[in-house]
Chain A
Amino acid sequence: MDAAVQVKATVKRRKKVKISTIVIYAILILWAVLTVFPFVWVVMNSFKPSAEVLRSSFALPSPATMMNYENAFGKLNVLNAYGHSFLISGSVTVGVMVFASLMSFGLTRYHFKGKQLVHSLIVASLMFPVFATIIPVFRMIVEWGLLNKNIAVILPQIAGNLSFATIVMTGFMQSIPVEMEEAAYMEGANVFQVFGRIIVPLCRPSLATVAIFSFLWSYNDLFVQKIMIRDPKRYPISTLLEQISSQYGTDFGLMAASVTIIVIPVMIVYVILQKNIIKGLTAGAVKG
């Protein structure tokens, strides 16, 4: 009798757990669909003529047309914009990696007067939103005659990513034991050789983190691009996209194709490097 009740109870419990698990999966999958759906929708509609997007945006394109893409690449100089964007974001990434690793090495391997001050200055600059520095930076760029040049976006973006990158990298360098450097130093290597041959290779994971967030922040940013590049011929990708939306806003097919064009490269890189990207963009967040 007792045994029977027990068995019944366990069966009941198992069933209960199962139902709750199904509910959990249902909610999670629903959210996943909500997250992916807009992107699927836009890719699908980029292969339809505008009139069809307006009529039946949920139907599969039949037949698929490349017209919107021909339009985008022909009329809008998308390739050119890509070129500018990659040049800008690539330079920002390299600049941030170089300066941040140099600074972190100085901050973790040396004692000097005012070290605490430098450290708190770096932390404080995290509180500077881009709005608070952009007007004087814009003045400098205008005075130096750099407006409409890629360097006008690169310089402030390097500075903007540098403080966070340095914080991430000092955290990592502190965890590297000094013994290896010590050995190399005793053997007669100078500081720069130690830095280049030992520290930089050891820091590869945190350098990857820094590279990922610098590149993505720079590539995705519209604000600085909009202010520094006013010549439509020299637009990077975000500014170009904004221009498309204000100029060709009624051409739905073209808009969908443009969104797809900007999303696809990021999507491909994301699928390949997702673990690193997720880590890179949330790095430092948990530790503060």
Chain B
Amino acid sequence: MLYKKKWPLVVFLVPGLLFMLIFLYIPFVENIKNSFYDMPAIVKMPGTEWKFIGLENYKRLLTDTDVRTALLNSVKMMVLTVIFEVGIAFVLAVLVSQVKKLQQLFRTVYFFPVVISATAIGLLFKLFYNYNGGMLNQILAVFGVEPVNWLSPELAFIMVCIPTLWSYIGFYFVILLTGLSDIPDDIYEAASIDGCSRFKQVFYITLPMMKSVFFTSVTLAVTGALKVFDLPWVMVPNGAPQGITHFLGTYMYQQTFGLNNYDYGSTLAVLIVVLGIVVSKGVGFLTEDREERAEKKAKRAREKAEKKAALSGRKVQKREVA
């Protein structure tokens, strides 16, 4: 490489890596370790020693019905983000790519809620949902319908999902639109010359060619759904009513910082990480087709063989040198 002296590398790499080490990697490992301990207080002091309790916290995880609710809500949210966020975004992207005028305006407008904080959006929708004179009930009143309690146990979950989904559609819209514009026009031209209708083109050209973009969007959507916190917390704090609107993030926060169960909170955090990895691997597995999988397998095997060969080669060399 160009720069012969290696010592400046220290200046380039160490500050950033140190930061990540102290605030990401070590805490990440420590958090896993903490999940096996009993932590009466966050700071170790005489009288508040942490005790190793093995799998106790994980056993609690299995019997905790609130976790089940939170887990179910988070999984439901993932499904909803894929169907509605990515789905609506795709429809909008296809429609926008068909028109010539105002494309830029639509992009700007659709993306706007993404830059607004979830806290503000949560507050905003709280005003819509209010029982006494909230916007929705005002509309109902015009039609002479009795006011509805929008955050009642039956409706609360879906009413929290709506703003969460709505606010991020623009994000996937932009990603998918970029993907669409990367498909060369001559493919569509060739297809329409061959008599393929526009509607069919979407299924036979657009969808297959957008596979990797879809993969990215779906992965971002499901992992994003796991990270949901701000908006439900503002709208329905502590999973109100009665903890039924808890997501894994909000439940973890409540356990950790509301009830000071730091050890159990750590366990919940581990659950979130594991779920995130499983789900994104799952998405990768589902979107890959059989051919690709076989190809990858073959490639991996080849690499392994090469590595082995290289290793034994090096050994041979070493022996020769010796």
Q: For the complex, give the distance between the alpha carbons of A137 and B315 in Å.
A: 45
Do B34 and A110 touch (CB < 8 A)?
Answer: no
Are B22 and A36 closer than 8 Å at their CB atoms? Answer: no
**Chain A interfacial positions (CB closer than 8 Å to B):** 21, 24-25, 27-28, 31-32, 34-36, 38-39, 41-42, 45, 53-58, 98-100, 102-103, 105-107, 109-112, 118, 121-122, 125, 127-140, 142-143, 155-156, 158-160, 162-163, 166, 178, 181-182, 185, 190-192, 195, 216, 219-223, 226-227, 238, 241-242, 244-246, 249, 252, 255-256, 258-259, 262-263, 266-267, 270, 274, 277-278, 281-282, 285-286, 288
Say yes or no: A102-B11 contact (C-beta < 8 A), given A41-B135, A142-B42, A238-B117: yes
Say yes or no: A127-B2 contact (C-beta < 8 A), given A32-B109, A259-B124: no
Q: A105-B12, A142-B42, A162-B16 are in contact. Are A129 and B24 (CB under 8 A)?
A: no
Which chain B residues lie closer than 8 Å to A136 at the CB level? Answer: 26-27, 30-31, 34
Q: Is the CB of A111 within 8 A of B111?
A: no
Cβ B99 vs Cβ A21 within 8 A: yes
A223 pairs with B128, CB closer than 8 A: no
Check if B92 sits within 8 Å of A28, measured CB to CB. Answer: yes
- Quick check: B234 and A222 within 8 Å, CB to CB? yes
Q: How far is the CB of A202 from chain B (nearest CB, A)?
A: 15
- Please determine whether A138 and B132 come into contact, CB atoms closer than 8 angstroms: no
Q: Assuming the A-B contacts A155-B23, A241-B123, are A286 and B99 also in contact, with contact meaning beta carbons closer than 8 angstroms in the complex?
A: no
Q: How long is the Cα–Cα vector from A256 to B270 in the complex, in angstroms?
A: 38
| B interface majority secondary structure | helix
From residue 1 to 40 of chain B, which have CB atoms closer than 8 A to chain A?
A: 1-3, 5-6, 8-9, 11-13, 15-17, 19-20, 22-28, 30-31, 34
Cβ-defined partner of A255 (8 Å) among B126, B217, B223, B277: B126
Check B95–A24 contact: CB distance below 8 A.
yes
* A-contact bits for B241-267, CB 8 A (1 contact / 0 none): 000000011001100110000100110
Q: Is B87 an interface residue, CB under 8 A from the partner?
A: no
Interface residues of B (CB under 8 A from A): 1-3, 5-6, 8-9, 11-13, 15-17, 19-20, 22-28, 30-31, 34, 42-43, 92, 95-96, 98-99, 102, 105-128, 130, 132-133, 135, 138, 166, 170-171, 174-175, 178-179, 212-213, 216-217, 220, 223, 226-227, 229-230, 233-234, 237, 248-249, 252-253, 256-257, 262, 265-266, 268-270, 272-273, 276-277, 280
CA distance A100 to B12 in the complex (A): 9
Give A286 to B211 CA distance when docked, in angstroms: 11
> Given A55-B133, A99-B16, A133-B27, do A285 and B175 touch, yes or no (CB 8 Å)?
yes
**B257 touching A262 by the CB < 8 A rule?**
no
> How many angstroms between the C-alpha atoms of A261 and B166 in the bound complex?
21
**B9 CB contacts on chain A under 8 angstroms:** 106, 110, 112
